[in-house]
Amino acid sequence: MNRKYIVELSEEEKQELVDYCKKGMVNVRKYKRAAILLKADCCRYTTEQICEAVQVSSSTVFRVKRQFVEENLAAAMNEGARSGAMRKTSAKDEATLIATACTKPPTGHARWTLSLLGERLVTLTDLDSISYETIRRRLKENALKPWQKKMWCVATMDAEYIARMEHVLELYAEPADELNPIINFDEAIKQLVDDTRPAQPMKPGQTKRLDYEYKRVGVANLFVFFDRHRGWRHVKATERKTKIDFANCMKDLVDLHYPHANKIKVVLDNLSTHTEGALYKAFSPQEARRILNKLELHYTPKHASWLNMVEIEIGNMNKQCLDRRIASMEELKTELAAWEWSRNKERTSINWMFNVELAREKLQRAYGALN
């Protein structure tokens, strides 16, 4: 006989369930069981209303109510463990899978795939077959992701690296000073490509359509300036990135962007064009010295692009503005100018948190290797 179970929560039980539902990270199934009990309390909602509100079946509502009435709140909240299906692989099979996934993939393949791992496992074990889902689960259990790779952003940290790193970090820790601004500088590139056939614009029920093929028009170089304290950035698109182009950027920085500054502290990498000599190659000795007298060039360590804040802004630029086909230098300059104006209007900046103290704490092994 189908009994009707009436849920009546005490004030303590009700508060316990409310507190659980307010937690940020909770078990979804337990959260739903708590919600069922709160709505079922004193028959405030019908079973149909609870099912619709909590997105569960009527059998789940019945089971939770029955467990609460016949047992207690803990039994209703903590559903028994599910038996599940039998494990399809033995410990030896799983060890073979893990060892295989950690080796170099077969010749002609960039990485192991579920299909390749399945074929290799059948060859190496007594298994007749294995599903992709079983392989995926075993990899997940062992935190293995053959399709992913990570790249080092920190090179070998010798004494020279650490000295330059601490120098740049101390520079970042200086307070904002309008007369002595700190400017991060670097380059990026953008391939100019055009459609081979006109794109079809998006319309209701249909996404924008681009032809798979495109034609390469050229490559543009982007000189990017960034002032964290001012929330200012500037992008200069050029066809080349020679010493002459670099020298003109430094002249623009001194004469156009910061004409009233006493000293402009420029953080940049060790590219061969980023030298004081580049200005003597581009200008007369008197003009080169005039510009350099207003500049302080501060170089990051080699292979330490992560230390240059402008790299973060370049990432924002690529994602927000350049992640599409742009066919001409004129179009590129127009789009970059609009993006730059919008970002500068909002004075969007970066909250740089890494400092010398944190470096010494986080990179203890590298510091210890110096002695």
Residue range 260-319, pLDDT digits in tens: 999 999 999 999 999 999 999 999 999 999 999 999 999 999 888 889 999 999 999 999
**Residue 155 confidence (pLDDT):** 65
- How far is residue 313 CA from its own chain's centroid? 13
- pLDDT tens string 112-152: 889 899 888 888 888 888 888 888 888 888 888 887 776 66
SS3 26: coil
The DSSP secondary-structure symbol of 300 reads P
- In this structure, whether the domain defined by 159-200+212-357 belongs to CATH 3.30.420.10 is answered with yes
> Which residues, listed in sequence order, are joined to residue 184 by a DSSP beta bridge?
226, 267
pTM exceeds 0.75: no
Q: What's the chain's average pLDDT?
A: 88
**Residue 1 confidence (pLDDT):** 40
How far is Cα 287 from Cα 166, in angstroms, rounded to an integer?
Answer: 32
Band the pLDDT of 238: cuts 50, 70, 90: very high
How far is Cα 330 from Cα 213, in angstroms, rounded to an integer?
Answer: 22
Lowest mean pLDDT segment, chosen from 3-7, 41-45, 268-272, 345-349 = 3-7
How far is Cα 321 from Cα 350, in angstroms, rounded to an integer?
Answer: 18
In the chain, where are the structural domains located?
A: 11-77, 91-141, 159-200+212-357
- Does residue 69 come out as left (phi exceeding 0), alpha (psi in the -120 to 50 range) or beta? alpha
For residue 218, the surrounding DSSP H or E stretch is strand 214-227
SS3 216: strand
**Residue 8 confidence (pLDDT):** 87
Amino acid identity for residue 313 in this structure:
E
For the chain, give the number of residues.
371
- Give whichever of 37-51, 138-152, 207-221 has the largest mean pLDDT: 37-51
Structural contact between residues 97 and 117, judged by C-beta atoms closer than 8 angstroms: yes
Is 250 a residue whose pLDDT tops 90? yes
Lowest mean pLDDT segment, chosen from 25-29, 113-117, 171-175 = 25-29
